[in-house]
Amino acid sequence: MKLLQNPSSFRDPSGHVYKYNNRIIRVIKKYGKKRYEFIKENNLIEESIKNNFLIDTKEIENEFRNLKSENFCYFLEHERLDYISYPYEWGFYQLKEAALHHLKFQIFLLEKNAILIDSSAFNIQFKNNKPIFIDVLSIDEYIDGDYWNGHNQFLQQFLNPLLLSSLKGISFNDWYKGNLDGIKTTDLNNLLNLKDKLSFNVFFSVVLLSKLEKQNTANPKEALKKINKKRKLSKNSYRSLLLQLKKWIEKLHPLPKKTVWDSYSVANTYNEEQERGKIDIIKKFAEKHKPNLMADIGCNDGLYSFESLKSGCKKVVGFDIDTNAIDRAYKNSLKFDLNFLPLYFNATNPSGRLGWFENERESFIDRLNFDAVIALAFEHHLALANNVPLEDAVKWIIKIAKKGLIEYVSKKDETVKKMLSIKGDIFPDYNQENFEKSILLNGKIINKTKISNTRILYEFEKN
């Protein structure tokens, strides 16, 4: 078995991450040897893990001693996470928790005369519902007078997207997906009105920095002179900057707004008895299969994910296009400490291969590793609201996992009637017979249960 370099691990000459027999291995290279030895000598890995900042990491020198060379100096193994997500897939409160995690980690390290050399949001993942830092080589020794080199990156990848939602009520996800560096301070500044800019924090972190950004772009030589002459930042000032940002971000909340599926879990087209019947089927499915990792497509606020977790499923990743539902689901996941990760997801425009060589960030399809999938009250949104051929919609859902539940919703359903009233019934092939044929083209029907006069739940198994 060979070490296979992770395509997203190429920017840091200090070391790269590799996949090896379903394990995650980090190789410390010659350029990073001194940095890693500082980290090692000061027990920063052990202390960071103990305080829930850093992913579980251990040195495995003996296992790879045959590969050790002048360039391959140390070998580490990281805990392998069930599912990799990206900042543009997180809800507001997930990005907020990730930002606070980064700042708290910086403050923790500063007390040990160490810093983080960058502020990439991609260095944080979610282990179930908690943020965790994954890039050990971002840690380096603090030198008295150091500036926070990652300050601007922190603003673009953490603070500015949060402010976009908090001040203007604009979801950051699609913008962020279109620019993996985050949201530029100058772009955010252009969106803010005078009232926004009168805030002390906004003025200094957005308005002034935007002005400096423009000056530096207009006259890079002069900007370089200023950087070379800049006054050193004391350790106390460094800490104060981190604490001030932490205090500000803790108070941020998205600007309240009504979204399309905000109240779906309490205002849908089936009654309480039908809802209980649906939950019962889901619980039996989870009890029978006990999936290690399940996808909930169209998870809304997580009701069915939570019932699955209570019934034998070990972890669920939920996907939904409604940002309010995602935020609510995440809060519930934290409140009840569930192994549930809700993510922003547009099925007709899912995360594709992005970044350098279109390979730095994996697509939704690339990351499929689910044991089971549930897609409840979802297929008609693809087939009717988005004009995806019924056969393709069913095929796509079945591709996600070998086993699962799909709910069929007929044209007689009130929700569907509302959809069709807008564009008209231009879907002659949308019916139960063709729905079942579409399943059978890709697998087999294990069970089907009538939920109501307009809804049927199918259990399938992929070929």
Amino acid at 337: D
Tokens found for residue 202:
């906004």
Q: Cβ neighbours of residue 347 under 8 Å, at least 6 residues apart?
A: 297, 319, 321, 381, 382, 386, 396
Per-residue pLDDT for the chain (463 aa), expressed as one digit of tens each?
Answer: 689 999 999 999 999 999 999 999 999 999 999 999 999 999 999 999 999 999 999 999 778 878 888 889 999 999 999 999 999 999 999 999 999 999 999 999 999 999 999 999 999 999 989 999 999 999 999 999 988 999 999 999 999 999 999 999 999 999 999 999 999 999 999 999 999 999 999 999 999 999 888 877 766 555 445 545 555 789 999 999 999 999 999 999 999 987 765 655 555 556 888 899 999 999 999 999 999 999 999 999 999 999 999 999 999 999 999 999 999 999 999 999 999 999 999 999 999 999 999 999 999 999 999 999 999 999 999 999 999 999 999 999 999 999 999 999 999 999 999 999 988 999 999 999 999 999 999 999 999 999 999 999 999 999 9
Question: What is the CA angle 411-416-418, rounded to 5?
Answer: 130
Q: Cβ neighbours of residue 340 under 8 Å, at least 6 residues apart?
A: 128, 129, 302, 305, 306, 309, 315, 316, 317, 318, 329, 332, 333
Rounded distance, CA 197 to CA 201, Å? 9
H-helix or E-strand containing 174?
helix 173-178
Tell me which residue of 161, 152, 205 sits closest to 179, measured CA to CA: 161
Please indicate, yes or no, whether the overall pTM of this predicted structure exceeds 0.75.
yes
- What is the DSSP-derived secondary structure letter of residue 452? E
Place of tokens 């089971």: 372
Q: In what order do the strands lie in the sheet with 294-297?
A: 340-344, 316-320, 294-297, 370-375, 401-409, 455-462, 443-452
Q: CB–CB of 347/89 below 8 Å?
A: no
Place of tokens 């078995």: 1
Q: CB–CB of 407/455 below 8 Å?
A: yes
Rounded distance, CA 58 to CA 182, Å? 32
H-helix or E-strand containing 20?
strand 15-20
3-state DSSP call for residue 247? helix
Q: In angstroms, what is the C-alpha Rg of the chain?
A: 25
Tokens found for residue 124:
């944080």
By 3-state DSSP, what share of the chain in percent is helix, strand and coil, each rounded to 5?
45, 20, 35
Q: What is the pLDDT of residue 224?
A: 47
